[in-house]
Chains A and B, each alone.
Chain A
Amino acid sequence: MKNSIRLSSKDMINAYLLFFVIHSAQVGVGIQGFQRIIYQDAKHDAWISVLVAGLATHIVAFCMIKTLEVYGSNDLYGIQQDIFGIWIGNFLNALYVVYCFIAFFSVLRNYIEVIQAWIFPNLGTWFLSATLLLIIIYAFTGGLRVVVGVSFFSVILALWIFPMLIFPMKFSSSEALFPILETNLSSIFKGAQSMTFTIIGFEILNVIYPFIKEKKKVKKYVHLGLLATTIIYLSVMMVSITYYSEGKLLKTIWATLTLFSFISFPFMERFEFVAVCFWMLIILPNLCLYLWAAYRGTIRLVKISGTKFVWIFSLLIFIGTLIVQTRTQINSINTHFGQIAFYIVFIYPIFLFMITMLKKKITSRKG
């Protein structure tokens, strides 16, 4: 196969780190308020939608890995060039880079929005975006090792937030979940589709695959990572449905943060203030990984050094965050991005998988 990536083992990462990469790439800003969006469609069966979406990620990841395995050591960009030829392939690569750009932008803009809404209403967007971008540039210029390290610590250091769900559980009633499957199936599927924005991120696998040392173990750790994400989303959803009354949940934009708001310790109240700030560590790998994926795609198209690329990229993002100002704009970006991402992340890999298999059959017959 053409364009395969050769790396020395020094630049590669161990397969088990993929668990952290996949998991941290998925969990980000979406989890702060995905409940309302799913609930609009699937009502109190929203947790089934989450399960369906989780299942879908496993299927898609399975197809992705199968596609990548055909090529041995290559990423999505190389595969597209190989299958569709250099022109269409590069066009698709460019689209994928744009996709990473928008994903990065939407994560960043949403986080800035959360900070402004919850803690600092007067802090300028430009300041928040500039500081976050500087941190990300610093991480990115350290190379993949540092980016993966950030993912790792993001997962490990954020573990303590998960048990915080016990606090609202005291006030929840399980009756809210019944009767199960009251909503019709199409609504549940629609809810699952709305999960897209929250659950994407694992498509980073397409780009990071050649950097994994033991390719045989990839499957195991990717699926473990996806499973962990699904479990977390599921439990957050369950707690939210049982904790909020029906009308309340529909009106709460950041349901997860609101869940946190009454948690109190002897030394601390209003936990969500800490949580919102701490969320920076959780979105950091999101941003770093999308940036890195965009860089991997860009160097297939044009010759550019990492430093140059990251500054241009950051400048564009910075300008973008200044243009998109209002909540409605951000919301519409989220919705549109979610719809596009659904096709790119969930439909396209399966399509690509089929083409790859077809091509493999044809070439093997010829050979």
Chain B
Amino acid sequence: MKFKLPFNKKQTPIIVEESIVDGKMITPSKDGFIQQIKDATNNPFDLIIKSIPPNITIIYIDNLVKDQTLNEHIISNLQNKHNETPETIKGALSIPEVDIYGQLEKTIESIIHGSVLIHLDGYPQAVIANITTRESRSLAAPENESQVIGAQVGFNESLSTNISLIRRYIASSDLCNEKFTIGKRTNTSVALLYMNGIANDQMINSLRQRITSLELDALIDSAVLSEMIDDNSLSVFPQMLLTERPDRFCDGLLNGKIGLIVDGSSMAIICPQSFVEFFQSQEDQNLRWHIATFARLLRFTAILLSVFLTPIYVGALTFHYEVIPQAFLVPLSESRALVPFPPVFEALLLEFIIELLREAGARLPTKIGQTIGIVGGIVIGTAAVQAGITSNILLIFVALSALASFTTPSYMMGNVIRLIRFPIIILAGFWGFYGIMLAFCFILIHLLRQSSMGAPYLSPFYPPRLKDMRNSIIRMPIPFTAKRPALTRPTNEEKFDPKPIKPEKS
């Protein structure tokens, strides 16, 4: 983890005031216990305290527990019965997760997470029954990573739902699931998932260490976590994949990658991830290899176009007229005849408008968003050309590169593609093709310097791994990709025995 900014050096770790509950034990008396809980939880109005005669008190937080279970399995079991010790209560309850704690701290922690406290007057212990329920939306299709062929289900914000989705894809005892709590104030649950026997132990350890050494006040979304535990947080390129597709997540796990799911976030983190893999879609696995290869090549062309097309236009028009073929020079000069600005300003203006439309479309409600798209595309585009602010041809180029940038399956990477275009346009405006080449070399070196969980970012191209290249910007038929990528340094390399399953020709 390289998140060492100069101004971070003197920062002291976040100190949460030690609360009154530390190290205390539960008071045996009924009133004392109630007061203790009230003090520790700051007496919220949804704290429900209910006495069950003769000697039992039930305390829980409303909306966090399942009402039906509470009624049927706890209250009805305890009512009108003489319970002597906490152990007998534990035996009497017909729910699976029941514990007995004496420490106040643990008791408070569990009531916050949705347990019911059952206190027996005169005993310094409390029985804790976990019957948590959390509000969460129902499963829906993944909107940001939609596919034509493939599963139509995405993660939602509930950790337990997400894990059950994954367990449905991978019904194996090798699927390891470790729980961490991050955030001093939010106490967010984070699950670390990997396949035992496939994932590299060293990599798991280093990720585990990065998570535990993280000192955060609050963790609201997994995107924050992924930025904090990246190899190089200062780079514009993301080094971990955020996905909302369970099938993509599971495919990663099965290839020896490590996954992280944050409670309350619908995006799961997958690492290590190489640069090329950001431009792969899970759909590529579901399509025939010819079509998948075509789609991948198309995407790569799109990225190159998206990054370099406008800069080349700017560079060629500002400095290198000679490069433009004669037949093309005439329409180009005609369309630019009325434009009063230099090409670099013209291009920046138009790129700015396109970005503005994209941002407006993303922020507005869907219904209005569509209107904005039409208004922007047709009205502003046509009007700009007629007003003589931009040339027709540049309009095509800019629209093309914007379109191309949206083919990137990962939204995070798509943003990067759109962003790095701007400095290159400016460089091209000042120093022509030399400026473009400078930017190209800089990006190349920058990518070479990056790593994802210590694995080379440009793998499988550098270091060159011919076997992994079979599934990079092309996708060879499945029998040729029977090995797991070396990127993840898997413990077990073989996926399956690559023999054709076809019946033999007799």
Contact = CB atoms under 8 A, between A and B. Distances in A.
Contact of A119 (B326, B434, B436, B438): B434
Contacts of B319: 119-120
Interface in A150-164: 150, 152-153, 156
A286 to B, nearest CB: 13
Nearest to B440: A281
A277 B441 contact: no
B441 A135 contact: yes
Contacts of B325: 264-269
A280 interface: yes
B6 to A, nearest CB: 16
A120 B431 CA distance: 9
B208 to A, nearest CB: 21
B458 interface: yes
A102 B433 CA distance: 28
B449 A142 contact: yes
A269 B434 contact: no
Given A146-B449, A280-B441, A284-B441, A270 B323 contact: yes
A343 interface: no
Nearest to A153: B444
B444 A150 contact: yes
A123 interface: yes
B441 A152 contact: no
Most chain A beta-carbon neighbours within 10 Å: one of B436, B441, B442: B441
Interface residues of B, number: 28
Interface in A111-144: 115, 119-120, 123, 128, 131, 135, 138-139, 142
Contacts of A268: 323-325
A321 to B, nearest CB: 16
A17 interface: yes
B448 A150 contact: yes
B445 interface: yes
B434 A142 contact: no
Contacts of B449: 138, 142, 146
B441 A119 contact: no
Interface string B316-345: 000110111110100000000000000000
Most chain B beta-carbon neighbours within 10 Å: one of A123, A128, A135, A269: A269
Contacts of B436: 277
B246 interface: no
Most chain A beta-carbon neighbours within 10 Å: one of B322, B440, B442, B462: B462
A274 interface: yes
Contacts, number: 85
B309 to A, nearest CB: 11
B463 interface: yes
B458 to A, nearest CB: 7
Most chain A beta-carbon neighbours within 10 Å: one of B320, B442, B445: B445
Interface residues of A, number: 34
Contacts of A138: 442, 445-446, 449
A135 B320 contact: no
B234 interface: no
B462 A277 contact: no
Contacts of B463: 14, 17
Given A280-B441, A281-B437, A149 B448 contact: yes
A273 B320 contact: yes
A278 interface: yes
Interface string A264-305: 111111100110011011001000000000000000000000
Q: Chain B interface secondary structure, helix, strand, loop or mixed? A: helix
B432 interface: yes
B464 interface: yes
Given A266-B325, A269-B323, A119 B432 contact: yes
B441 A269 contact: no
A152 B433 CA distance: 22
B433 A269 contact: no
Given A142-B449, A146-B449, A270 B322 contact: yes
A22 to B, nearest CB: 16
A139 B441 CA distance: 9
Contacts of B446: 138
Contacts of A123: 431, 434
A143 B230 CA distance: 20
B135 to A, nearest CB: 48
A108 to B, nearest CB: 14
B324 A269 contact: yes
Contacts of B326: 269
A267 B328 CA distance: 8
A20 to B, nearest CB: 9
A278 B444 CA distance: 13
Interface in A230-268: 264-268
A123 B440 CA distance: 20
Nearest to A149: B448
Contacts of B434: 115, 119-120, 123, 128, 277, 280
B417 to A, nearest CB: 19
B322 A273 contact: yes
Contacts of A120: 319, 431-432, 434
A119 B433 contact: yes
A119 B315 CA distance: 12
Contacts of A128: 434
B217 to A, nearest CB: 34
Most chain B beta-carbon neighbours within 10 Å: one of A115, A139, A156, A281: A139
A146 B441 contact: no
Contacts of B320: 119, 270, 273
A146 B324 CA distance: 35
Contacts of A142: 445, 448-449
A139 B445 CA distance: 6
A82 B434 CA distance: 45
Contacts of A266: 325
Contacts of B445: 135, 138-139, 142, 146, 150
Nearest to B327: A266
Nearest to A265: B325
Contacts of A270: 320, 322-323
B432 A149 contact: no
Interface in B89-122: none
A12 B445 CA distance: 19
A131 B445 CA distance: 14
Nearest to A14: B463
17 contacts: A16-B464, A120-B319, A123-B434, A135-B438, A138-B446, A138-B449, A139-B445, A150-B444, A150-B445, A152-B464, A267-B325, A274-B323, A278-B437, A280-B441, A281-B437, A281-B440, A281-B444
The 6 closest A-B pairs by CB, nearest first: A277-B433, A149-B448, A142-B449, A270-B322, A277-B437, A139-B445
Given A120-B431, A269-B323, 20 more contacts: A16-B464, A17-B463, A123-B431, A128-B434, A135-B438, A138-B445, A138-B446, A139-B445, A142-B445, A142-B448, A142-B449, A150-B445, A265-B325, A269-B322, A269-B324, A277-B432, A277-B433, A277-B436, A280-B437, A281-B441
Interface of B: 319-320, 322-326, 328, 431-434, 436-438, 440-442, 444-446, 448-449, 458, 461-464
Interface of A: 14, 16-17, 115, 119-120, 123, 128, 131, 135, 138-139, 142, 145-146, 149-150, 152-153, 156, 264-270, 273-274, 277-278, 280-281, 284
